[in-house]
Amino acid sequence: MKNILAPSILSADFKILGDQIRQTEEGGARYIHFDVMDGIFVPSISFGMPVLSSIKGMTSQVMDVHLMVTEPVRYVEEFAKCGADIITVHFEACENPAATLDAIHGCGVKAGISIKPGTPVEALEPYLDQADMFLIMSVEPGFGGQAFIPESLERIRQLRVMLEERELEKDIEVDGGIYHSNVAEVLKAGANVIVSGSGVYKGNIRDNTTGFMEILKAYE
């Protein structure tokens, strides 16, 4: 399976955002991970549609939108219009996750579903056929720069087995606390879409990105 790096712009320097995004693109990152927080599903507030619209035109990277938002179905259409290529919603945030995934597909966009560290992996079972991507949070959603929760590795393995048993070759994305030092473990466990905020945007962005890409390629 192709391994993909999805740098989270939550950790970027917003006064030079365009410049920094370009460095990740030149370094080989195929996605931009876009963390939307509503101050209700998670305690913090980040950014939304206007920021997405303005970066959409500047890069050919895939816009990977992670909605940490209560009842995200309310915003699916608008994020699709603003340029989202993938919209991931939280299982815990949706009254009707299946209808929400349908609404995403109805906008012609790929649909992802995510679980927080405390939610059993089995919660994803009803959506294995329907969703295009599964996002395992390896920190509590809400803030960048937290430490990777080690139990996440077992959760990734469990999900990969569930998909393989059904002969489904789908993307498993992992988000939170991933750096050069631990990304190999995450890939070996069965993930193939790697989100990193601090690991890309803190320090030398180009070197951080190419460093990740070397490891990702080695595990394909």
d(CA 141, CA 143): 6
CB of 54 to ligand DX5, least distance (A): 19
* 199 C-beta neighbours (distance < 10 Å), count: 26
Exposure of 3 in the CB half-sphere (CA atoms within 13 A)? 20
- Starting at the earlier edge strand, list the strands of the sheet with 110-115: 4-7, 193-196, 171-175, 133-137, 110-115, 86-90, 62-68, 31-37
- Binding site residues, ligand DX5, CB under 6 A: 8, 10-11, 33, 35, 66, 139, 141-146, 175-178, 195-199
CB of 115 to ligand DX5, least distance (A): 13
Are the C-beta atoms of 112 and 135 separated by less than 8 Å?
yes
CB nearer to Zn ion: pick between 35 and 171 = 35
Contacted by 155, from ligand DX5, Zn ion, none: CB < 5 to 8 Å by type: none
Q: Is 171 in the site for Zn ion (CB under 5 A)?
A: no
Q: Is 155 in the site for Zn ion (CB under 5 A)?
A: no
CB of 66 to ligand DX5, least distance (A): 5
Which residues in 21-50 contact Zn ion (CB under 5 A)? Answer: 35
d(CA 191, CA 15): 32
35 is catalytic: yes
Where on the chain is the footprint of Zn ion (CB under 5 A)?
35, 66, 175
